[in-house]
A and B are shown apart, each in its own frame.
Chain A
Amino acid sequence: MTEKPTMIQALNRALHDAMAADDSVVVFGEDVGPLGGVFRVTDGLTATFGENRCFDTPLAESGIVGVAVGMAMNGMRPVVEMQFDAFAFPAFEQIVSHVAKLANRTRGRVRLPMVIRVPYGGGIGGVEHHCDSSEAYYAHTPGLLVVTPATNTDAYGLLRAAIEHPDPVVFLEPKRQYFTREELDPEPAVPPIGRAILRREGRDATLIAYGPTVPVALAAAEQAATEGRDLGVVDLRSIVPFDDETVTAAVRSTGRAVVVAEAPGFASVAAEIAARVSERCFHHLEAPVRRVTGFDVPYPPPKLERHHLPGVDRILDAIDQLQWDEA
């Protein structure tokens, strides 16, 4: 029996298949060529498709994203890699001022079918600038789609969907799950961008998670089940567009919700989700919507990060506080 693939291999297969399907798909960035990327997500692409299709660039993230904008303007579908979350910040102006706005600026005459891949999040024992959860910056910027897979099948499917999409996509890869091995269908489904999925049915409360916190939320639900509480888990998959329909339906069915995210909670995606759920589910709620997030601190050093990251215990503590006695 062959070994199950890692998320890295699922992403690599998605890039392979997209490049084979469409000559206009080009992959570039730092170390993505012969090395295959520091995480090997682009492994073998240069060898298979040649250095015009997958190539290393100067070490210049703003230039990489800016060049991708121009290539997309001229008929290509660039997929660029930002080596780490914090390494995307030099490209922030290009992403916010141009990638996000060019289609609107030109009244839809110029669309940018490009993907910015960003390995993000912590939990890998990495240094300060290798562990950021940067999704709020992108989600706050109209014009960007922001997607993050939590399973290997979604890693494949969402990356294919992102590459095929006519709009620019920030594709956030939870690097904590890079080495997770999971079965991958021979023909994995390509889900539409913008649809969340209910990963686990539950009657008592709903956990809302995305990317790296989905497995944590599922583990919390497993643990809760042994203690007699039945928790549902929603995996957003797409932060923008946000799937209000799925989230709202899930929370209304339980009347209780906890949002679980790794990023600092203040002014975060988790904060937005909590507000949306409160607005839409108020009359169905038995308790205020709670958030379990990272603390509002710069990313901790490796030996302290376990205190920062939302874990099963902190999630279950939050669940305990959902006014069960009054029910």
Chain B
Amino acid sequence: MTEPMRLIDETGAVVGDGLPAPEVLLDGYRALVLARRLNEQAEALVRQGRLAVYPSSHGQEACQVAAAAVLAERDWLFPTYRDVAAIAARGVDPLDVLVLLRGDWHCGYDPVATRVAPQTTPLATQLPHAVGVGHAARLKGEDTVVMALCGDGATSEGDFHEALNFAAVFASPVVFLVQNNKYAISVPLARQSAAESLAAKGAGYGMPAVLVDGNDLAALTVVLSEAVARARRGDGPTLVEADTYRIHAHTNADDPSRYRTDDEVERWRPRDPLLRLEAHLTATGALTPQLEAEFTEAAEELAAHVRAGMGEESALDPAELFAHVYSTPTPQLREQAALLAAELNEVRS
């Protein structure tokens, strides 16, 4: 069995060559602190009933942060529903991202302006879209790269296969990052695949594939940067499997005690991506108490921003239901909009 590529172990010790520069790791650590705080804040909002649902990436923040950090501004990110932290790390206001999960609309940011595709719940269906964006970029002679995220469960879907096959055949500039967090809601990895690893699937597509420690930000940064550079050169897609773990439940509606043991979760806690990078940066002296305090303050500001935004009443217009279905509403939709408007007037008067 291939071991995941790793540069920093659980104790913070360097165990491989080619470590990113200290300032890169320090930036990454800061982003990890923010991502963790965002996850915690969103989960708190769910408990308070101010957010309908939140699929936390707690424990997977290194994947979230690295996926965003290796991209240029012109590149695209195709996230899943669990990747709020990645979208925020890309620079999108978390309040715009959470529009979906607070139930105001299906997507709260501009995908073209932010170069982040909408989050949706079907698995793997975003992957062919990512290939299409990449293929169009190539046809237009642009060197744009697309980072497409999915989880271990999604690798069983037909669209995963179709997207990777298409990307390989057309040498599309796409990096497929599979966050293997070991569970698809309750179903363990062993029920998704009998392959030695998910990265092993790359061979079937004729695509280079790398298995990387998904809780090691340094290793992720190196592996994903290389994959992005390869795609940008026109050398085609890469499959990256990040070995990580979903520490928290699937969502607040889930009960993990029905399908996994506390012991298993406890075994993963020491492998936390923040702990190990903190240990490493503290040992090298790069992370000073002063910097740590600055990062914590930034994280608290982010959390306060989210709390404040969530505290505000959403201004929703029921007429918007009809506004975007077509570029010009059909006569039938105009009739239905008038019906709803009349109902609302009646309620008010």
Least distance between B80 CB and chain A CB atoms (Å)? 14
B interface: dominant SS: helix
When the two chains form their complex, are residues B112 and A66 in contact, meaning their CB atoms are under 8 A apart?
Answer: no
- Please choose the segment from A13-21, A73-81, A206-214, A250-258 that sits at the chain B interface, where 4 or more of its residues have CB less than 8 A away: A73-81
Query: Which chain B residues border A72 with CB–CB below 8 Å?
Result: 132
A97-117 contacts to B, CB under 8 A, are 97-98, 101-111
Q: Which listed residue (A66, A68, A167) contacts B326, Cβ 8 A?
A: A167
Q: Which listed residue (A52, A58, A94, A98) contacts B166, Cβ 8 A?
A: A58
- Does A26 belong to the interface (CB within 8 Å)? yes
Count how many chain B residues have C-beta atoms less than 8 Å from C-beta atoms of the other chain: 42
A-B contact pairs, 8 of them (CB 8 A): A62-B162, A63-B159, A63-B162, A73-B117, A103-B327, A106-B106, A106-B111, A242-B331
When the two chains form their complex, are residues A66 and B125 in contact, meaning their CB atoms are under 8 A apart?
Answer: yes
Least distance between B198 CB and chain A CB atoms (Å)? 19
B residues contacting A by CB (< 8 A) are 105-107, 110-113, 117-118, 120, 122, 125, 127-137, 139-140, 158-159, 161-163, 165-166, 169, 320, 323-327, 330-332
New A-B pairs, 11, CB < 8 Å, besides A66-B131, A66-B132, A71-B135: A63-B162, A63-B163, A70-B135, A73-B117, A74-B136, A75-B136, A106-B107, A107-B105, A107-B324, A143-B325, A240-B330
When the two chains form their complex, are residues B139 and A244 in contact, meaning their CB atoms are under 8 A apart?
Answer: no
Complexed CA–CA distance, A75 and B113 (Å): 13
Q: Which listed residue (B118, B161, B324) contacts A108, Cβ 8 A?
A: B324
Least distance between B146 CB and chain A CB atoms (Å)? 8
When the two chains form their complex, are residues A73 and B111 in contact, meaning their CB atoms are under 8 A apart?
Answer: yes
A residues contacting B by CB (< 8 A) are 26, 52, 57-58, 60, 62-63, 65-76, 78, 90, 93-94, 97-98, 101-111, 142-143, 145, 165-167, 194, 240-242, 244-245
When the two chains form their complex, are residues A108 and B158 in contact, meaning their CB atoms are under 8 A apart?
Answer: no
A interface: dominant SS: mixed
Query: Which chain B residues border A104 with CB–CB below 8 Å?
Result: 106, 324-325
When the two chains form their complex, are residues A145 and B326 in contact, meaning their CB atoms are under 8 A apart?
Answer: yes
Known: A107-B320, A166-B327, A244-B331. A66 touches B120 (CB 8 A): no
When the two chains form their complex, are residues A67 and B166 in contact, meaning their CB atoms are under 8 A apart?
Answer: yes
Least distance between A267 CB and chain B CB atoms (Å)? 18
Complexed CA–CA distance, A142 and B128 (Å): 22
